[in-house]
Amino acid sequence: MRALILAGGSGTRFWPLSRRDRPKQLLALDGERSLLQSTVDRLHPLIPASDIWVCTTERLADGVRAQLPEVPAEQVLCEPEGRNTAPAIGWSLQQMAGGGDLGGERDDIVAVLPADHRFANAGAFRDALAAAAEVSRQTDHVMTLGVQPRWAETGYGYLELGEPMSDAGGALELAQFREKPDAATAETYLNSGRHLWNAGIFVFGASTLLAFLRRFEPEIARGLDALRSPEAAEPSRAAEIYAGLPSISIDYAVMERLPEHRAISAVRLDAGWSDLGSWQALSEELPAGDDGNQVHGDVLTVDSDGNLLWADEGTIAVAGVSGLVVVRTGDAVLVVPKERSQDVKKIVEELKNRRRDDRL
């Protein structure tokens, strides 16, 4: 099995700490290692660094290579332009095969996973990944790792499970992908025992996935074919072709269409997963100090509790406040109620509208 780590995101919800040149996946939010480094760490020894590829952007490539010296430099792939995960995965699979077709008599098993998630139990994660790989080898199914829900979350998509697969090590057929639900529906999913959180982690035979991509998204397939042509050897032409690919996620392009073809199955993952999708999500993972606050850096508190206080530079001092996220960097300060931490992306959008590139 080989791994493809998707590491081209911007991590806008972690502004002002996360910036264009140092996004979320390159930050150490939970320990000494960055989220990207931790992603590579937890794959070992199941998948060694020599079998890991990283899809990122030209802007981030040097930072990725600096953080991952154990990954061969040529396996850090620079996507010509951000066009969402379906083009990124299809293009990366071709690059992993030297620009040709993957597969043949022995289909290469590839695990695709985000660069910025957290797992409390790395061993349980590897066990689930290995189980998914084995089922994929046996059945030629695309596999997804579904996270055992711990509460009625409305911010995640869900996987609706079908019948168990015979002789498939606990894997179940996937009946349907479900969009982010309202609170009442999320409660139903939690209590059903038949729904998992969709963590966006997939395991598949590479040629199998590319065949489905060709079947369901022929325009993307034609573009990927064009990128293998002699004219695409010119970087400017390759960038032009890639920019013309439809921008669509792998979920919409392929995965959500597979249940009706009985070609996708799920393995339960219970490993303390978090997507760390906001400052509030991070606060749910970090321990609080004796004063009830979660702190990083030089912080002073007076009569305050339940706050996440992150001083990347300088000092943060708070008095008489609760339930806040306060983040200080060298050039910006963020103050937001924890429950509105998703609104940080609105701040980033407003900075873009005001052409404040110096703060992005």
Q: Please, where in the chain does CATH 3.90.550.10 lie?
A: 2-274
Phi, psi of 163 (to 5 degrees): -85, 150
pLDDT of residue 158: 96
Angle at 242 between CA 240 and CA 229, to 5 degrees: 85
Q: What is the pLDDT of residue 107?
A: 67
pTM for this predicted structure: 0.93
Q: According to the model, what pLDDT value does residue 167 have?
A: 65
Spans in the chain with pLDDT lower than 50? 100, 102-106
Strands 324-328 and 333-337: antiparallel
Handedness of CA 131, 32, 74, 63 (dihedral sign): positive
Residue 168: predicted pLDDT? 62
H or E segment to which residue 174 belongs: strand 172-178
pLDDT of residue 102: 46
Q: Which CATH number fits domain 2-274: 3.50.50.60, 3.90.550.10, 3.40.50.620, 3.30.70.260?
A: 3.90.550.10
| H/E stretch holding 281 | helix 279-283
- What are the helix (H) ranges across 49-205? 58-67, 85-96, 122-139, 183-192
What pLDDT digit, counting tens, does each position of 11-50 carry? 899 999 999 999 999 999 988 999 999 999 999 999 999 9
Q: Does residue 40 contact residue 5 with C-beta atoms inside 8 Å? A: yes
Nearest CA to 49 out of 28, 24, 74 is that of: 74
**Burial of 69 by CB count in 10 Å (0-12 exposed, 13-18 middle, 19+ buried)?**
exposed
Of residues 286, 321, 285, the one with CA closest to residue 300: 321
| Cis peptide preceding 45, ω within 30 of 0 | yes
List Cα–Cα distances, 297 to 154, 209, 314, in angstroms: 32, 45, 8
Which pair of structure tokens corresponds to residue 226? 């064009």
